[in-house]
């Protein structure tokens, strides 16, 4: 399925971008909900660990997570294919361009922002996901894998903790910009454009793209400051 859709028309490729993008946005909310538990500190460490355990073992969630991995890959590969095609469509570049006169920065840099995010996701998964699944984990008081301690160490006591926080925040900024354009753009691509509702969708998108990454970013900053 993936192959034929990717080889399909330019519009089909865009539909997939939009659908996977929106799906990933929903995932962000779920992920954030879990992460916010971290703000409870050591007191809620066991709750966080229980949540992490649930997320990695419950069958339905597992299926969803494979869908998620596929989406990330799909979104990235599709994006790369589109970008290659776009580059080919203008082999000779302009000598001088003034694009800020007609379009927003984020909308013109989706591929760049996406690349930043992809690099982050790789690092992020290596640090937490891989270790949770396949690495050695400390065990908490009730015998769960103690992801809380791993996270806390990473952002507070590790020698390069400040760098971890900084990279995390940069990545969240990238996500914010990517969503700033991507959220409403996905609706336009799916054909949703209405004089009444589009302004609302845009506003929701802007709020979403600021609030969600900001809340993500607050967690390591908070942990770092209150260590």
Partner 1 sequence: MNLTLKVWRQNGPDDKGHMEIYPVKDINPDMSFLEMMDVLNEELISEGKDPIAFDHDCREGICGMCSMFINGEPHGPERRTTTCQLHMRSFKDGDTIVVEPWRSAAFPVIKDLAVDRAAFDRIQQAGGYVSVNTSGNTIDANAIPVPKQNADKAFNAATCIGCGACVAACKNSSAMLFVSAKVSQYALLPQGKVEAKERVRKMVNQMDLEGFGNCTNTGACEAECPVGISLENIARMNREYLSASLSSAE
Indicate the residue among 10 and 159 with the shorter CB distance to partner 1.
10
Q: What distance in Å separates the CA atoms of residue 16 and residue 43, rounded to the nearest whole number?
A: 42
Helix (H) or strand (E) holding 39: none
Both tokens of 26, joined, read 């929903």
Indicate the residue among 91 and 143 with the shorter CB distance to partner 1.
91
Indicate the residue among 35 and 107 with the shorter CB distance to partner 1.
107
Both tokens of 116, joined, read 């930043």
Do the Cβ atoms of 107 and 205 come closer than 8 Å?
Answer: no
Indicate the residue among 108 and 203 with the shorter CB distance to partner 1.
108
Smallest distance from the beta carbon of 56 to partner 1, in angstroms?
A: 36
Tell the burial category of 124 from Cβ atoms under 10 Å away from its Cβ (0-12, 13-18, 19+): middle
Smallest distance from the beta carbon of 25 to partner 1, in angstroms?
A: 16
Sign of CA dihedral 97, 103, 106, 112: negative
Do the Cβ atoms of 198 and 187 come closer than 8 Å?
Answer: yes
Smallest distance from the beta carbon of 102 to partner 1, in angstroms?
A: 4
Smallest distance from the beta carbon of 3 to partner 1, in angstroms?
A: 16
Smallest distance from the beta carbon of 111 to partner 1, in angstroms?
A: 9
Indicate the residue among 17 and 172 with the shorter CB distance to partner 1.
17
Residues that bind partner 1 (CB under 8 A): 9-15, 82, 85-86, 88-99, 101-104, 107-108, 110, 181, 184-185, 188-193, 195
């Amino acid at each position: 399925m993936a192959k034929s859709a990717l080889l399909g028309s330019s519009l089909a490729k865009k539909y997939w971008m939009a659908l996977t993008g929106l799906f990933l946005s929903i995932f962000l909310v779920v992920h954030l909900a879990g992460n916010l538990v971290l703000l409870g500190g050591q007191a809620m460490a066991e709750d966080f660990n229980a949540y992490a355990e649930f997320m990695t073992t419950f069958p339905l969630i597992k299926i969803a997570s494979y869908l998620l991995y596929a989406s990330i890959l799909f979104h990235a590969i599709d994006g790369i294919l589109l970008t290659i095609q776009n580059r080919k469509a203008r082999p000779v570049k302009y000598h001088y361009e003034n694009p800020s006169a007609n379009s927003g920065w984020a909308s013109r840099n989706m591929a760049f922002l996406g690349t930043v995010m992809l690099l982050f996701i790789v690092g992020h998964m290596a640090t937490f996901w891989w270790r949770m699944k396949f690495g050695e984990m400390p065990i908490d008081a009730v015998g769960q894998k103690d992801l809380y301690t791993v996270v806390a160490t990473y952002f507070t006591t590790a020698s390069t903790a400040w760098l971890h926080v900084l990279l995390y925040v940069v990545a969240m900024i990238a996500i914010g910009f990517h969503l700033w354009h991507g959220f409403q753009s996905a609706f336009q691509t799916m054909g949703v454009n209405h004089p009444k509702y589009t302004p609302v969708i845009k506003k929701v998108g802007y709020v979403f793209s600021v609030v969600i990454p900001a809340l993500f970013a607050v967690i390591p900053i908070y942990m770092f400051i209150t260590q």
